[in-house]
Amino acid sequence: MTTTATSTTPEKETLAPWVGWARLAIGLAQGFALYLVTYHQGAFGEALQAALLTAVVFVPVLVIGGLGAFRWTTLGLWSLVATLMAAGLSWYEVSRLDGEQGSLGRPQAIFFVVPVLLFVGHHLVQAADEARRWFAPYERYFDLGWRHGAQLLLAILFTGAFWAVLVLGSALFNLIGITFLMKLIQNTWFAMPATCGVFAAAIHLTDLRSGLVRGARALGLVLLSWLLPAMAGLAAAFFVALPFTGLEPLWATRAATTILLSAAGVLVVLVNAAYQDGVHTPGAILRWSARVASVLMTPLAALAAYALYLRIAQYGLTPDRIYALAVLTIGICYAISYAIGAFSPRWMKPLEAGNIASAIAVILVSLALFSPIADPARLSVSDQMRRFRAGITPVDQLDLSFLRFEGASYGRAALQSLAQDRSTDEARTLSDRVATVLAAHSPYELGPQMNGQPVQAALIMRPETATLPEDLTAFLNQVAVSMCVEERPCSVLLRDLNGDGVDEALVGTASVLWVYARNANGWVQIGSVNFRGAPPHVEEA
């Protein structure tokens, strides 16, 4: 049976009365600020909007949690640093797109990475502030991190329950024809302050009942720890079976790195659930399961590293592989310390230093990935262009769509450089392809390749007796093939729209109309119209 560890540092069970009111005020102010930022988003540039939004969503939560726990100077400095990190990373994420949206804009990733970064940093700072030194006793990191994680989960559940009650109550009033409550909660000026205020109140209530939170945390850790023998056994069986199956089935999944790193991550969580703060030692089953799991993390990380190496050597760097490298770096930090701990005479004691080092690694890696230092788009574009110039990547295999839509401003700069090179016939051909890619507004406008042959777009000339120019046909087979399919053919109409004596091409589906014009380099898109509501019949227009 696992013995639940108790922090050796006394914890205040009571808070000054002003703390609750201050937290509620901060929560309400956060809600109003969030409403103002979202309601007046047109008043800001996209980058500034993202920076303000990220800072307003996350930083007040740190201040609410830090009241009564930090010294005032430390709380002020940490809040400033947290604001600069959250706003700065978000600002960079949007500014790198140069006003265009792409799959690597990563606003969703920012809203995952920033809270993780701030959560880890908050507990490193709070533990150090309490201990009055750079590194606190490990049990303080454990107690603060797991307790606050349980608090956040309970606060989120409480906020969700609050809204369930509001919606149910408003529905009851609706039954008798009183609709003011339903209309009230549907207004963002009410919903945002109410949500943030209730969340702040939930944080305060769980602080007042910290003993109950610790109890819930202890129960959760006990349940998690007893999953460790099962996971350790499965991982061990995997390595026993591996010599009989070979590595080919593993590589054939094309997801080997992700699965291996995920398995190692689950082992890290479960080992920590068994170890807790290290003050008490669990039973023999959990001890030996933790040792086996800690030993197996190293070969899991090694296999993941080899799989990633093979992909990079064959195809070069891509953003996904750079993210995998970042996770692998953190995983190696864990694997080394846990492997040492597995053979330590003091049961798993090196795990403590490994967890602290890995937490610092999480912060450093996150800051590097979401800044120009190790921006995956910048590194990927640089590597792909290096492979192209070295002749490793043939001209016909250079992924122009990736450079245009996933390389952010770095990819577009590389494309513009390629477009200007017309020194040879091959360079001129590539330059024409690049011009087409640069003119596209989404990757769906670029035609896929099947068996080395371009797919033909489904085009109907209007009127049907008119002739479709060959160069326009070839161009549309490149840029519109994914939109003009047999089930939904595109109508093509030639008209002189600007009175210059040269026809432009109008290419339409039921939902969109593209306008193309011919210039010295061929056809380029000069505009588009998205239809809302009932679309017109383009062929009749």
State the 10-residue block means of pLDDT for the chain, 541 residues long.
Answer: 42 72 95 90 79 93 92 95 94 77 52 90 94 91 91 94 95 90 91 95 89 85 93 95 89 84 94 89 90 95 93 88 93 93 87 93 92 91 91 83 85 88 76 80 56 60 80 77 72 86 84 82 80 52 53
Q: Which single residue is written with the structure tokens 């588009």?
A: 528
CB 78 within 8 A of CB 70: yes
Q: How many residues does the chain have?
A: 541
Q: Which residues are registered as beta bridge partners of 508?
A: 491, 513
Global pTM value: 0.74
What per-residue confidence (pLDDT) applies to 406?
A: 83
Q: What's residue 482's pLDDT?
A: 62
Residue 8 has a pLDDT of 42
CB atoms within 10 A of CB 38: 14
DSSP H helical ranges for 374-462:
376-389, 400-405, 408-420, 425-439
Contact 328, 304 (CB under 8 A): yes
User: Which is nearest to 260 in space by CA: 222, 319, 310?
Assistant: 310
Residues facing residue 461 across a β-bridge: 492
**Distance between CA 72 and CA 79 in Å, rounded?**
10
Nearest CA to 473 out of 487, 488, 460, 486 is that of: 460
Question: Nearest 10 degrees: CA dihedral of 427, 433, 435, 439?
Answer: -170
For 31-61, how does the pLDDT look when each residue is reduced to its tens digit (9 = 90+)?
A: 999 999 988 876 777 888 889 999 999 999 9
- CB-based burial, 313-345: b 16+ in 10 Å, e otherwise: eebbbbbebbebbbbbbbbbbbbbbbbbbbeee
Give dist(CA 221, CA 216) in Å, integer. 9
Task: Give the 3-state secondary structure of 42-54.
Answer: HHCCHHHHHHHHH
Residues 324, 537: Cα–Cα separation, whole Å: 48
The mean pLDDT of the chain is: 85
Strands 459-461 and 490-495 turn out to be parallel
Decide: residue 99, CB within 10 A, 0-12 exposed, 13-18 middle, 19+ buried: exposed
> Residue 85 CB: number of other CB atoms within 10 A?
23
205 touches 157 (CB < 8 A): no
> Is residue 463 reached through a cis peptide bond, with omega within 30 degrees of 0 on the bond before it?
yes
Give the C-alpha separation, 192 to 291, whole Å.
Answer: 47
Per-residue pLDDT tens digits for 301-346: 999 999 999 989 888 898 889 999 999 999 999 999 999 999 988 8
Closest CA to 522 of 425, 435, 456, 443: 435
Residue type, 509: T
∠ CA 302-303-309, rounded to 5°: 90
Helix or strand holding residue 18 (H, E): helix 17-39
Geometric angle at alpha carbon 192, from 187 and 194, rounded to 5°? 95
Tell me the C-alpha to C-alpha distance, in Å, between residue 309 and each of 2, 303, 328, 346, 475. Answer: 40, 10, 11, 35, 38
Q: Where are the alpha helices (DSSP H) in 176-283?
A: 180-185, 188-208, 210-225, 228-245, 248-252, 256-275
User: What is the C-alpha separation between 146 and 164, in angstroms, rounded?
Assistant: 27
- Choose among 337, 312, 334: nearest CA to 325: 312
Residue 381: both structure tokens together: 């574009």
Residue 504: partners with Cβ closer than 8 Å, 6 or more residues away: 494, 495, 496, 497, 498, 515, 516, 517, 518, 526
* DSSP, res 283: -
Any residues with CB less than 8 A from the CB of 172 and at least 6 apart, and which?
none
DSSP conformation letters of 246-266: -SHHHHHTS-HHHHHHHHHHH
User: Which residues, listed in sequence order, are joined to residue 522 by a DSSP beta bridge?
Assistant: 519
- Name which of 470, 393, 406, 471 is nearest 437 in CA terms: 406
**From CA 353, how far away is CA 338, in angstroms rounded?**
10
DSSP 438-497: HH-SSGGGSPPEETTEEPPP-EEESSTTS---HHHHHHHHHHSTTTSBTTBPEEEEEE-S
Nearest alpha carbon to residue 58 among 40, 28, 74, 34: 34
| Confidence at residue 196, expressed as pLDDT on a 0 to 100 scale | 96
